[in-house]
Structure 1
Amino acid sequence: MKKQAVTLVQVAAKAGVAVMTASRAISGDGYVSEETRNKVLAAADALGYAPNALARVMKGGRTNVLGVVVNDLSSVVVNAFVSALTEEVRKYEMDLFIYNSSVQLDEQAQRRHGQLLHGLWDGLIYVLPRMTDEYLAALEASGSPVVLVNFCRRPTTLPVVLGDNFNGARDAVASLVAQGHARIAFIRGSHWTGQSAERERGYRQAMADAGLPVDERWVAQGTFSEKSGLEAGQALFALDPRPTAVFAANDEMALGCMNAARALGLRLPEDVSLVGFDDVPGAVTAQPPLTTLRHPLALMAQATVQELMRRVLHEPGTRQRVEFPAEMVMRGSTAPIATAPAAAKRRTRKA
């Protein structure tokens, strides 16, 4: 036989207080002395009482739950960021509800999951959102507490926390130029969040700063996947003359491009230098270790939760845009272009 749920009335009776007092003690809404609150919470714990969050929302209360919408939980970067979010949310003694949506949401699906989440969260975080302009406009008009993470495809009235993609990319390409590279290729990612476009803009700006032309054949299309990086690398290395360096819009594509170079007998960094973006764990274990850019995910998660909670609690000092710089992480996949002929000469002498 199904066990009946413990009610608030039973909790109040066990604690020896009025039902309204028990409700205030558990919800945190309204004044209750610390001694009474502890007594009620102890009674609730002893009885196994689980408050009905949805009922509380319908009465205008809070759920003490924040929601996070992601599109791909298999992404190393998304997983790392959600883990950091979880730590931050715990500091507010709240829970995090993770909603893994489909890769591409049509209007009906977006509306459906928006309605679903509306009754479950006090505030919502979209990580690398793949949403249409229509859905974004609906979110802007809703007035709900929402924060977007790493979204820069177009201006929005919603608060955004992001890493600096443009300057990070410009620094990466400038480092390759400083090593003597002139034929530098770029592998794009998908367009949804705008990050790839910003990284491409940084690439083109660095080339222009150095007075170097961009051969459009050097700009290959990827999808942020390792497979697309492999395919882009195959196309780039088939060019004559081929690029001496490649900057990929994320590490997964860079690692795919690395595999393409190896399959063609090219050596890294002697024959080609390679730079990624994100500093995923695989970047460190790659052979050679991948030069890349890193965003401070822990600080970004902290800022995301802070901005969302300021809106949930109607506190002053909210910010519309919080941007963090990217850090260049130099590893073994890049080297001055002069090392390639030098290495070739050494091999000739040994022969």
Structure 2
Amino acid sequence: MKKSTVTLVDVAEKAGVSVMTASRALSGEGYASEKSRTKVQAAAQALGYAPNALARMMKGGRTNVVGIVINDLSSAVTNAFASALSAELRRYEMDLFIYDAMGDLGGGKGKRLSQLLHGLWDGLIYVLPRMSDDYLKTLEASSSPIILINYCRHETSLPVVRGDNVNGSHDAVSHLVDLGHRRIAFVRGSVYTGQSAERESGYRAGLQDAGLEVAPELVREGDFSEASGLEAGRALLALPEPPTAIFAANDAMALGCVSAVRASGLRVPEDISVVGFDDVPMAAVVQPGLTTLRHPIPAMAQAAVQELMRRIRQEPGRRQRIEFPSEIVIRESTGPGPAAVARRGRGRRVAG
């Protein structure tokens, strides 16, 4: 029997059950005994039967497919989320569709977005910290179950699962202040996301709480790329009074700053401490290991999938915003600043 001709009736006959039981066993909707479910699944596999998602959708049923929308395949953070979401969806026996929206985010009424919102999936998870206002408005007007991950540029009626950027950044500055640093620089990320602005807000609040002023020359522009971190690092080191520590809005820019420090003949952290944000895999293996902030990606993915399933099933207890705290991961890229060294020096006594 050719695969294209296999029907649900064929599967039911081979398994020795009714068509209704076969449908329930394969869709997971309605009761089917474990024995029947096993027989039906074995028959479907033997015959090469694949349920028609379009037919199920037209009958008002679910397709058991979830779309994950991303816009940067090169991002370690995006890939980590995609992997964690995939693992969580498998627990619900849901299939996964990944859509790269790169280049589609400028407008909200394009043909591609319309096709995406009316695709053969039960819901969509957007791992997009950046999108245009029109694009967001189109998503908000959609009847599809949609979850946003790490979107924080504007308030939205869509449910959002996100990490805490402000308090995490405050913790990074506090860590550097505790080490004795007083001239602490900040490298911004892209202006098109809310994450950079929130991380800068935490940086400024951390300095203020430590009784320190924000020196305008110590805040530099970046775009979340390593190259922009390298450029910002060079500019900071060229100042008449360079910083003793640099906090970058993500790990890629922090690693660029480390390269700038080394190229200038200085050392990390002996001469300048560096802190990043995101805890990408590279942060743990570079030398020195990068001190950074971490969001709990597996827990965030789990929360996103659970919230999406509640909305697909129209269950009670739905939530609009789920926020997870940041955790500071202290590695070798941060060390004592001049203030701490000076304090130790004042405490020494010379015998004689």
TM-score (norm 1): 0.91
In 2, Cα distance between the equivalents of 1:269 and 1:342?
18
| Shift in Å, 1:307 | 0.8
| Residues 33 and 123 of structure 1: CA distance in aligned 2, closer, same or farther (over 3 Å) | same
| Shift in Å, 1:282 | 1.5
Alpha-carbon displacement from aligned partner over 1:228-261 (angstroms, at most 9, x marks no partner): 1101111111111111111000111000010011
**1:49 equivalent in structure 2:** 49
**1:246 equivalent in structure 2:** 246
Q: Secondary structure at the match of 1:267?
A: coil
In 2, Cα distance between the equivalents of 1:56 and 1:173?
53
1:89 is aligned to 2:89: yes
2:153 maps to amino acid: R
| Shift in Å, 1:117 | 5.0
| Residues 32 and 175 of structure 1: CA distance in aligned 2, closer, same or farther (over 3 Å) | closer
The aligned runs of 1:32-47 (5 Å cut-off) are 32-47=32-47
| Shift in Å, 1:213 | 1.6
Alpha-carbon displacement from aligned partner over 1:152-182 (angstroms, at most 9, x marks no partner): 1111111111111000001101111222222
In 2, Cα distance between the equivalents of 1:258 and 1:315?
49
Q: Secondary structure at the match of 1:116?
A: helix
Q: Which has the larger displacement, 136-145 or 311-320? A: 136-145
| Shift in Å, 1:12 | 3.0
**1:126 equivalent in structure 2:** 126
Q: Which has the larger displacement, 303-312 or 124-133? A: 124-133
In 1, Cα distance between the equivalents of 2:90 and 2:127?
18
In 1, Cα distance between the equivalents of 2:117 and 2:175?
45
In 1, Cα distance between the equivalents of 2:144 and 2:337?
52
Q: Which has the larger displacement, 213-222 or 304-313? A: 213-222
User: What are the ranges of 5 or more consecutive residues in structure 1 without an aligned counterpart?
Assistant: 344-351
Alignment check: 8 A CA contact 1:151 1:160 kept: yes
User: What are the ranges of 5 or more consecutive residues in structure 2 without an aligned counterpart?
Assistant: 345-352
The aligned runs of 1:154-303 (5 Å cut-off) are 154-303=154-303
In 2, Cα distance between the equivalents of 1:266 and 1:186?
19
1:61 is aligned to 2:73: no
| Residues 249 and 88 of structure 1: CA distance in aligned 2, closer, same or farther (over 3 Å) | same
Q: Secondary structure at the match of 1:222?
A: coil
**1:77 equivalent in structure 2:** 77
In 2, Cα distance between the equivalents of 1:34 and 1:183?
65
| C-alpha RMSD over aligned residues | 2.3
Alignment check: 8 A CA contact 1:67 1:117 kept: no
1:143 is aligned to 2:104: no
| Residues 243 and 162 of structure 1: CA distance in aligned 2, closer, same or farther (over 3 Å) | same
| Residues 143 and 19 of structure 1: CA distance in aligned 2, closer, same or farther (over 3 Å) | same
| Residues 262 and 234 of structure 1: CA distance in aligned 2, closer, same or farther (over 3 Å) | same
Alpha-carbon displacement from aligned partner over 1:181-225 (angstroms, at most 9, x marks no partner): 221111111133311110000001111112212122211111111
Q: Which has the larger displacement, 328-337 or 109-118? A: 109-118
The count of residues paired between Structure 1 and Structure 2 equals: 343
Q: Which has the larger displacement, 314-323 or 34-43? A: 34-43
| Shift in Å, 1:22 | 3.2
| Shift in Å, 1:335 | 1.5
Q: Secondary structure at the match of 1:143?
A: coil
| Shift in Å, 1:4 | 3.5
Q: Secondary structure at the match of 1:107?
A: coil
| Residues 7 and 286 of structure 1: CA distance in aligned 2, closer, same or farther (over 3 Å) | same
Alpha-carbon displacement from aligned partner over 1:303-329 (angstroms, at most 9, x marks no partner): 111111111111111111111111111
In 1, Cα distance between the equivalents of 2:337 and 2:237?
16
TM-score (norm 2): 0.90
Alpha-carbon displacement from aligned partner over 1:73-117 (angstroms, at most 9, x marks no partner): 211111112111111111111112111221562326854144235
